[in-house]
């Protein structure tokens, strides 16, 4: 033991000396004259990014370094900490809700890209899917007091829909080419699947936002956009009959026997494992799933459909927009060069390369070439998408949480629709009171 200790001590001394030189060459993340640094969290695109960086270096003689910080929670902390010390790189991505995005803009960390986007008759802007810019944009008179403009460059687009396993549908005696269109048709599938012994519906509803997503899709369809927004503003209570009807839908959903066991605490990755291995007949998932399922079960025979209609008064909408985006650091000395790089990144060649490597939907229509049929279905429905960040008002996070957790409780029979609607309204009133202060 003594020997071990003295040996370790010597080694420790040696290592301290070996560290010291490293301290001297410590550099802040801000890069040198002719190079750009990009921070991102997208592990699965690391190789694609590095290839593009190399290509850019060869074409324009500018060095670009992509630095990966994952998982996204770690990335969020890193970006926030760097913002406090003004050590953000030239290009990075803001993860979080539009409220966080707005804070970054207001704190002067994000460059307004509208001038660059609208140069030469909106040349850059027009290249994107219109919906891809939606969650990178703050409209005139937004509730966060951000000057109107476009602040981010989308890399890809995504939207969230229903999926069904055609083989399991056939097995249960259902028409594999006709997924349910209305809520009643949807509910009727429950008993059919149950009879065949097939678990029904999976999704990542342990991660609350995916519940919120379906619920808000249904709400838009049920009462229309205007009324939903009025509710967010506090002009319509969550105890309104139509909101009660919305919560009731989840009671019906529960009673139909559709939810697979464990749905309410399921992580989306588990839901994906279950659906791709034929252990569930339906799923609610984003367009990225095409890629995930292809990896886990290339023979999976499935299709996508819009969330079933609960009313014919209003159009059906789904959540969608840019999947991931980059912003330019407004404080960076080289921000013009950063803008130039992002412009280059949204050129067709680069978008095609990214889409090919990652099999995501590209953010520019001209890059949509040969993609799988199901992914095509997702692409076609981009026009139906909406996104909370597009709304002029936003709901307080405590209300959203009560809302989503309430639906979890309905699904496990812990609470009734009536109870949840009252609880949500109670929290909403508290939030409105404290906002007045």
Angstrom distance (rounded) from CA 102 to CA 147: 10
Angstrom distance (rounded) from CA 272 to CA 120: 44
Closest approach, Cβ 267 to other proteins, in A, equals: 7
Query: Of all helices (H) and strands (E), which one includes residue 137?
Result: strand 137-138
Tokens of 306: 């819009």
Helix 241-255, helix 397-411: angle, nearest 10 = 40
Assess 32 for contact with other proteins (CB under 8 A).
Answer: no
Q: Hey, which residues between 37 and 56 contact other proteins (CB under 8 A)? A: 41-46
Of these, 270, 394, 416, 419, which contacts other proteins (CB under 8 A)?
A: 270
Of these, 11, 32, 148, 432, which contacts other proteins (CB under 8 A)?
A: 11
Closest approach, Cβ 256 to other proteins, in A, equals: 17
Assess 435 for contact with other proteins (CB under 8 A).
Answer: no
Query: Of all helices (H) and strands (E), which one includes residue 328?
Result: strand 325-328
- # binding residues, other proteins (CB under 8 A): 89
Bridge-based pairing of strands 35-40 and 361-362 is unpaired
Q: Hey, which residues between 204 and 243 contact other proteins (CB under 8 A)? A: 206-208
Interface stretch with other proteins, choices 2-10, 214-222, 235-243, 372-380 (CB under 8 A): 2-10
Coil/strand/helix, residue 208 = coil
Q: Is 319 in contact with 197 (CB distance < 8 Å)?
A: no
Tokens of 67: 């630095």
Assess 178 for contact with other proteins (CB under 8 A).
Answer: no
Choose between 314 and 389: whose C-beta lies nearer to other proteins. 389
Closest approach, Cβ 132 to other proteins, in A, equals: 17
Of these, 70, 148, 333, 432, which contacts other proteins (CB under 8 A)?
A: 70
Q: Hey, which residues between 81 and 140 contact other proteins (CB under 8 A)? A: 81-85, 87, 96-97, 99-100, 103-104, 106-108
Choose between 53 and 116: whose C-beta lies nearer to other proteins. 53
How far is CA 247 from its chain centroid? Answer: 24
- Backbone φ, ψ for residue 161 (5° rounding): -140, 180
Assess 412 for contact with other proteins (CB under 8 A).
Answer: yes
Its sign, for the CA torsion 288, 289, 290, 292, is positive
Q: Hey, which residues between 274 and 293 contact other proteins (CB under 8 A)? A: 277, 279, 286, 288-289, 291-292
Closest approach, Cβ 178 to other proteins, in A, equals: 26
Choose between 222 and 318: whose C-beta lies nearer to other proteins. 318
Burial tier of 434 (Cβ tally within 10 Å: 0-12, 13-18, 19+) = exposed
Closest approach, Cβ 405 to other proteins, in A, equals: 5
Closest approach, Cβ 353 to other proteins, in A, equals: 17
DSSP result, 380-411: HGGGGEE-GGGSSS---HHHHHHHHHHHHHHH
């Amino acid at each position: 033991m003594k020997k071990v200790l003295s040996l370790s001590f010597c080694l420790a001394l040696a290592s301290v000396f070996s560290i010291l030189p490293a301290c001297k060459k410590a550099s802040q993340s801000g890069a040198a004259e002719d190079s750009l640094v990009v921070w991102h969290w997208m592990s699965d695109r690391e190789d694609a990014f590095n290839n593009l960086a190399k290509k850019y270096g060869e074409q324009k003689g500018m060095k670009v370094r992509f630095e990966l910080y994952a998982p996204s929670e770690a990335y969020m902390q890193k970006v926030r900490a760097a913002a406090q010390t003004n050590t953000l790189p030239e290009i990075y991505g803001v993860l979080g809700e539009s409220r966080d995005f707005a804070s970054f803009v207001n704190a002067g960390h994000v460059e307004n890209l509208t001038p660059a986007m609208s140069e030469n008759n909106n040349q850059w802007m027009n290249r994107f899917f219109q919906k891809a810019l939606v969650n990178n944009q703050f409209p005139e008179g937004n509730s966060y007091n951000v000057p109107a403009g476009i602040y981010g460059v989308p890399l890809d687009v995504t939207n969230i829909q229903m999926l069904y396993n055609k083989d399991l549908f056939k097995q249960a005696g259902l028409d594999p080419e006709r997924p349910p269109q209305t809520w009643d048709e949807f509910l009727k599938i429950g008993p059919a699947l149950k009879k065949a012994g097939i678990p029904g519906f999976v999704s990542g509803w342990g991660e609350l936002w995916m519940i919120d997503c379906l619920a808000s899709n249904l709400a838009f369809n049920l009462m229309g956009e205007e009324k939903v927004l009025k509710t967010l503003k506090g002009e319509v209570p969550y105890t309104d009959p139509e909101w009660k009807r919305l919560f009731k839908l989840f009671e019906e959903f529960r009673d139909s026997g559709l939810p697979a066991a464990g749905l309410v605490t399921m992580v989306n990755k588990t839901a994906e494992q279950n659906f791709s291995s034929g252990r569930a007949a339906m799923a609610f998932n984003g367009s990225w799933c095409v890629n995930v399922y292809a990896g886990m079960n290339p023979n999976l025979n499935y299709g996508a459909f819009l969330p079933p209609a609960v009313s014919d008064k209003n159009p059906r909408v789904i959540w969608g927009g840019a999947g991931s985006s980059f912003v330019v650091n407004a404080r960076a000395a080289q921000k013009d060069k950063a803008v130039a790089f992002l412009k280059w990144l949204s050129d067709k060649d680069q978008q095609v390369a990214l889409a090919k490597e990652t099999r995501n939907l590209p953010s520019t229509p001209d890059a949509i070439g040969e993609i799988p049929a199901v992914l095509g279905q997702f692409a076609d429905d981009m026009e139906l998408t909406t996104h909370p960040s597009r709304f002029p008002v936003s709901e307080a996070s405590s209300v959203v949480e009560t809302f989503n957790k309430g639906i979890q409780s309905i699904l496990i029979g812990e609470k009734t629709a009536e109870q949840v609607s009252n609880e949500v309204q109670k929290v909403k009133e508290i939030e409105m009171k404290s906002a007045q202060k």
